[in-house]
Each structure stands twice: as C-alpha cells, then as structure tokens.
Structure 1
C-alpha cells in the first residue's frame, strides 16, 4: 500500500496532467493564434513557391540556395540529438532522481526531430518531392547526402519515440492512481498485454537502450554534418570536422532547451522535489563543459581558413567573418557562447550554480548556437569558389521568419498539449513505485 506521503508526491508530480488553469488556456489560445498566421505563411509559400524566400542560384541573381530553413533545421536536429543524449545517459546510468528530466528529454527529442524534418520538407519547395525521396532511397542512399539526412532524422524520430513509449508503458504499469479521462486512451494503448513482472524488464531494456542512444549520438549523429562536409567545391563546407562540429553544437542546444523546459515545469507546477536545485546545478556544469567543447571544435574548424596558405575561398569566408559583412553576426554568436560559459565556470568555482543562473545561461547559449548554425549554412554559399559569380547576399524574408519561428511555436504547442495527456512522472517513488517494490508485491 502506498503511504500518505507517497500519495501526496504522486498527486504533486501529476499536477501538469490534472490541472488546467486559465493561464494555460490563455497560452493555448495565443499559440493557436500564431498557428493561424503560420498556416497562412505556409499556404502562401505553397502557392507561390520558394520565390517568396528570395533565395536564388549563384550568378547574376546574387543569392544563396540555402537559408534560414536549413539553419533552423541544423538547430532543431542538434537540439533533438542533445536531448536524446541526456535522456539516454540518465536511462543508462539509472539515475532515479532525474527520471522526470529523462521523460522531458524523450518528449522534446521527438518534437524537435519532427520540427527538423518538417523544415526539410518546406525547403524542398514542393512537399510531394518527399515521396520521390522515399521511393528512390534504396539507390540514392549510396551517394546522396540528402538521403543520409532523411535516414538520420527518421531514425532519430523512431528511436526517441520508442524510448518514450517504453518508459510510459513501464510507468503506466506501476501507477496506482486514476488518471483523467483524456489520459486513459494512451494509458490503455500502451499497456495492452502488460503484466506486473514486465516493469523490471522494461527498466533493464531502457538502460541498454540508453547506451544505444549514446552510441547513436557519436555515430549517426554526425550525418547532418557530413551533409556539408562532402561538398568539395566549398571550403566552408568541405572537411572532416563538420560532423564533430554538428554534434558538439547540438548537445549544448539540447541541454539548454531541457533546462528551460524543466525550469518552467518546476515553477508552474510546484515540482521542486522532482526537479531539485541539484539537478540544475549539474545541468549548469554540463552546459558549461559542452559549450567549451563546441568552442574548441569551432576553433579547429575556423583556424585553417585564417592562415595565408588557405585556399582563396576559405580566406574570403574568414575575412567576411572577422572583418566583413558577417563579422557582426559571427562575433555576436561567439560572445553569446563564451560569456555564459565563463559565467557558469566562475559561479561553479566560487559558489553554487542556481537554477536561475543556469536558465539564463541556457537561453543565451541556445541563441548563440542558433546564430552560428545559420552562419555555417550561409558562409560558403555567399562566396562561390572557382566560378565566375559575384558574392551572394541573403536576408530572410518575413515568410521565412514566420515559418521558421512558427515551427518552434507549433513544437511548444505540441508539448503543452502532450503534458496534459501523458504523465511527466518519475519511475521510483515519486508518482510510480520502484522496481524493487513492484517485484516484492508480485512475489507476495
């Protein structure tokens, strides 16, 4: 039998699932209103084509072929990768106190990966081209970086959804509280054929799947970077370090996103016990460390283009970033990475990192990563190499901004809807019984 203290803890952690306030309704309406604007922008682009983005081919048009959509894709895909890496680490290590953070990571990984895949569809101009990409996949995957990218995003969605479904099946099986009517449908679907002895087995499966997620991050996680790294004519793309740069940028983006989400959940739903200060302290340490690693990767990517023996194209890109048209954006992105990292390091050395410090640093670093991801896409395209073309120019149009930001708001909308349908609960003693307790009750 659960004690009164355990019952209170269950009800507290289930606050996001059971309570719908007026503020929640107001936020939902605001997001739906922006969703209407977003839908109008989508219809506008589908009607008139990619001409509404002002992106063009090189030459007299002085344009670029990839822009904000691909830059945003890089950020969302990296954020999904970082989220699943953190969730996988928690599952593999069996850190019971961080089970809610793992659930948030699994959920955000699914949403962010879907957002990334949708941006690829939008950038194709005609969405029906996806059908051709899928039909020709068995042959194009041998030589097409786009096919690799589609494979990576699809795999990320599948594995993150699988981990989320497995953890939900385990927690639903252990729960001894009655859920609201809207939450019973996924509960019944995910617990078909469930038996009490299955819980410990699912915990073990999640542990090994967490190890698999970590392996996925450091192997298949490099694929979006390879998409650029194999483009030989462009020094800004071509290179062996592109995959490493993508991974090291995605991890702080994912940690930052989960930190902001966890803090919002903690403040809104009084989840101080499930999301304690110590968690944000450790997230701050991880965020500072991986931001430092990302800066090292960027340094190694950038330095070969600075030296006098660098090819002309690489030197042009370096000049633009250091002194030219892109310098403001480049140095802004570096500052948004360096200063929060130094602040987190200083606070860690001399005092405890508070949740508020970690959240502010997370938001700044996420914005810095977003700027740098977009620059990484634009830099080589603006400086053609070996072709008699002028340097390109690019300014995102209103349609591009609405669609790119709209993907984020739709992702937030999906998240706040899902927290009212599936429990953001822990696996041990917070809203569910631990595996040891489950085994004892089965034996009894």
Structure 2
C-alpha cells in the first residue's frame, strides 16, 4: 500500500483544484476538437468527395477508410473498458477498484466518439433518421450496420445505468463537499435516493456487470462488430471465424492501454500515488501482456492459413497484408510492448510508470493502425476484381487525420469536464483502501 491512508479529500481534489496545466490541457483538447469540427463542416458543405472516400471501383479508391477504422478502434476501447470494470465487481478483483470508474467513464466517452464517427461517415447526418430510424423495422432483420447501431445504443444505456447507480452512493455522501454550482446535476443523480437502496443497487450493479460480460463476446466486440466484415465471403481479408476473437483481444488490449494512460495522468496530476499504486500499474501491464500475446497469436493464425497453400484470393490478400509497412509497424509495436512486459516481469527493476504509459501509447497506436489497414486492405483485394488486377490507392485526407486527433480531444474534454463534477474514483475504493491500511 501507499505511505498514507487515502481520504475523501483526495478523490475530491480534481473537483476543487484547477491548475494552469489543467487549463492548458482543456485548450489543447478543445483546439483539436474544433479543428476537426471545421473539417467536418467543410465536408458537409462540399460532400464526401473532399475525403476521397466513396470512390471505389474504377476510381481506384475505397469507400471506408480512417473513419470506419477509428470507429472500430473507439468501440473496442469502450467495450474493453466496461469489461474491465465489470470483471472487478464479478471476480472480486479489489486490486483494480481505484481505476474501475475510470474504465466505466472510458466506455461512455469511447462509445460517444464511435457514435460520432457513424454520423460523420454518413455524409449527411439526416440519414441517421431517414435511413436508420425511419426504416429500422426493415433493416434490423438484415443489416449488420443496423445491428451495430443497435448494440452500441444498448451498451451505452447499460453502461450509463451502471455508472449512474454507483454515483448515487458517492454523491449523496460527499454532497456537502461538492460545489453548489452543479446542484441540478447532483439532484438529478440522486433523485429518490434512500440508504435502503444501497444493498439493492449493489445487486443490480452485479447483474448489470454479468450482462455486460456476457454481451461482450457474444454480441459486441466478439460478435456484431466483427460480423460487419466477417460475413462477407467476397472479401478474403475480412471473411472468417477468427475475426470475433481477434476483435475482442484488440478491444481488451486497447482498453487496458487507455486505462493505464488515464491512471498515469490522474495519478501524476493529483498526487494519487497512494490510491493508484504501482501495484495497480504492474497488474494492468500483466493483463496487457496476456492480451497482446493473444492478439499476436490470432494474427499468426491468419497469416499461416492465408499463406500456406491458400485459395488464390486469400493468398493474394494475405501477401498484401503481410508485406505492408503499416501492418509490420503495428505488429512490431505490439511485439516490443510484449517483450518489455515479459522482461519487467522477470526483472522488476525495469518497471516504471512512465514506461507503462509509453507501452500503452504504443499499443493504442498499433491497434489503430491495424484497424485502419484492416478496413482498407479488405477493399483492395476482393475475390471478384471486376475493375482490373491492380489494387487502388488510398491515403487519408487531412479531414480524416483531424478526426483522430479531434475525437481524442473530444474524449479528453469529457474526462477534463467530468472530473470537475463527480469523483472519478469510487468512494467504495477509498473505503476499501482505508480498511486495508487499518489492518
């Protein structure tokens, strides 16, 4: 444990203290988001042609690129985040209680960024109403895209309920120490609250966590999201049963990496060494290493089956993927992180929090690159190439690149804002740590 006992004042520090660094981060994140909004406004005015997308076939481009690749990336981060939080409750992983709420909030933020990408990629936002909502009773039976929108919405509602229920306990007990300017928010969060509901809420949260754990591999990043691609036999890069497990491992590696970065930032910014301890970082790194190993193993399965006397179309697609510099870069980054985690497990002196944060950043970069390439390469190597044997070309436009930094800024603004309103560490986690210290 840390050298001092955690207190309520510690978890309220982000709400009460506003530093110059905080304001600078708000300005940087806001600028990144605004620049993307400017680019999106230009796209709305001129059409999707400004991105170079929607130009597949004789034009030699692709219909999906960074937008869909980054969409998958954010959904993966979101799904993995709530899985981590749910596992803490279901499996009694008390070691990670201080970062459980950060993981829940990462899910809300990640799903918001992913949903934003859907609207951006539609070209015209009104199509969300005319094409999806207006014809939902028809499309839900046959469209993996609509399945996708459905499960993301369901997951958002589940996670928001899950987070809201746990916040009621904290806000009620800390209300006298919270700022009065957010009184309407606190009243909304605690409407109808009585202490008698605590035990009931704990059971409800447990069942919600169980539902989340079950849904993840069956419907979310182990099911519906990969089905967008895996059920299309004319695209050998996408087609196949391995996509579900592979998407799930990528989601978990990305989410753990995101939680590591958030934990590092909050620990450094608010002197939470005694709350988010080195032991938490070591544990998260070990889990990251485990899922990185699964990630590389499933990539190996794809490469072996795609290169050892495969059908012509599968072999062509596999050779294109394996020879691409982006793919090699992504795999190298994951392998380097796995090597570091293995080395620091054998020699603990190699561990530092900064190295853990760098490893997390490397994994997030790798998974983003892999997902974008996965989407693009699928279009370049179809089974029936009616437009000629030469693959087209694709390079992200400045608007698409700005969308990545913009959504990162959007998620950063979410955390910077929420941290000023409610505790990002559960009061239960502090009470648990205090109990450990007294023992």
1: CA distance between counterparts of 2:85 and 2:354?
22
After TM superposition, give the deviation of residue 429 of structure 1 in Å. Answer: 6.6
User: Would the aligned equivalents of 1:90 and 1:210 in 2 still touch at CA under 8 Å?
Assistant: no
1:362–1:160 Cα change, 3 Å: same
Where in structure 2 are there 5+ consecutive unaligned residues? none
After TM superposition, give the deviation of residue 333 of structure 1 in Å. Answer: 0.6
Aligned residue for 1:220? Answer: 219
1:63–1:150 Cα change, 3 Å: same
1: CA distance between counterparts of 2:434 and 2:338?
37
After TM superposition, give the deviation of residue 95 of structure 1 in Å. Answer: 4.1
Aligned residue for 1:284? Answer: 285
Partner residue of 2:35 out of 14, 34, 37: 37
1: CA distance between counterparts of 2:298 and 2:254?
15
1:339-354 aligned within 5 A? 339-351=336-348, 353-354=351-352
User: Would the aligned equivalents of 2:99 and 2:425 in 1 still touch at CA under 8 Å?
Assistant: no
Aligned residue for 1:64? Answer: 62
Aligned residue for 1:173? Answer: 172
CA shift digits 1:241-274 (9 cap, x unpaired): 2111111111000000010001100000011122
CA shift digits 1:166-185 (9 cap, x unpaired): 11012223336421124433
1: CA distance between counterparts of 2:415 and 2:190?
22
1:125–1:10 Cα change, 3 Å: same
Partner residue of 1:10 out of 8, 11, 14: 8
After TM superposition, give the deviation of residue 36 of structure 1 in Å. Answer: 2.6
Aligned residue for 1:203? Answer: 202
2: CA distance between counterparts of 1:150 and 1:411?
20
1: CA distance between counterparts of 2:366 and 2:46?
32
Residues 1:123 and 2:124 are matched in the alignment: no
2: CA distance between counterparts of 1:182 and 1:276?
32
Aligned residue for 1:184? Answer: 183
User: Would the aligned equivalents of 1:96 and 1:427 in 2 still touch at CA under 8 Å?
Assistant: no
After TM superposition, give the deviation of residue 31 of structure 1 in Å. Answer: 2.3
After TM superposition, give the deviation of residue 116 of structure 1 in Å. Answer: 0.6
Deviates more, 1:40-49 or 1:173-182: 173-182
After TM superposition, give the deviation of residue 240 of structure 1 in Å. Answer: 1.4
1: CA distance between counterparts of 2:197 and 2:312?
62
Q: Secondary structure at the match of 2:423?
A: coil
User: Would the aligned equivalents of 1:260 and 1:359 in 2 still touch at CA under 8 Å?
Assistant: yes
CA shift digits 1:27-59 (9 cap, x unpaired): 212222333322211110001111011123433
Aligned residues: 427
After TM superposition, give the deviation of residue 358 of structure 1 in Å. Answer: 1.9
1: CA distance between counterparts of 2:433 and 2:28?
37
Deviates more, 1:362-371 or 1:169-178: 169-178
Q: Secondary structure at the match of 2:428?
A: coil
1:98–1:427 Cα change, 3 Å: farther
The root-mean-square deviation of aligned C-alpha atoms, in Å, is 2.2
User: Would the aligned equivalents of 2:98 and 2:429 in 1 still touch at CA under 8 Å?
Assistant: no
Q: Secondary structure at the match of 1:359?
A: helix
CA shift digits 1:129-170 (9 cap, x unpaired): 111212222221111110111112112211111111011012
Aligned residue for 1:438? Answer: none
Where in structure 1 are there 5+ consecutive unaligned residues? 436-444
2: CA distance between counterparts of 1:429 and 1:107?
16
